[in-house]
Amino acid sequence: MARTHVVMSDELLKAIDEVVGQRGRSRFLEEAAREKLAKLELAEAILATKGIAKGPGYEHWKDAQATEEWLDKVRGRERAH
């Protein structure tokens, strides 16, 4: 465990304190940092694998519309055209 100094706006600090209280700041900020890091890691993985599903059998991934139509079909929903 390490201590650190964090600078943030008074408004943000007040909003955090209203939700978790002053004694909950560290845990809240640690959880928020973990969530952000996980999102960044996922975004990096998505970019690294972009285009991996190409060719026959992956027509439903060719563009957003094709994917939406495929999802509706899989979920048993009709699309309004």
**Whole-angstrom Cα distance, residue 72 to residue 53?**
20
Residue 56 lies in a domain: yes
Residue 1 lies in a domain: no
Residue 4 lies in a domain: no
Residue 22 lies in a domain: yes
In the block, tokens 């991996």 appear at 52
pTM above 0.85, yes or no: no
Residue 19 lies in a domain: yes
pLDDT at site 26: 95
Residue 3 lies in a domain: no
pLDDT in tens, 3-27: 999 999 999 999 999 999 999 999 9
Instruction: Look at residue 81 and tell me whether its pLDDT is greater than 60.
Output: no
Q: Domains in the chain: how many in total? A: 1
Range of the domain at 49: 10-74
Residue 80 lies in a domain: no
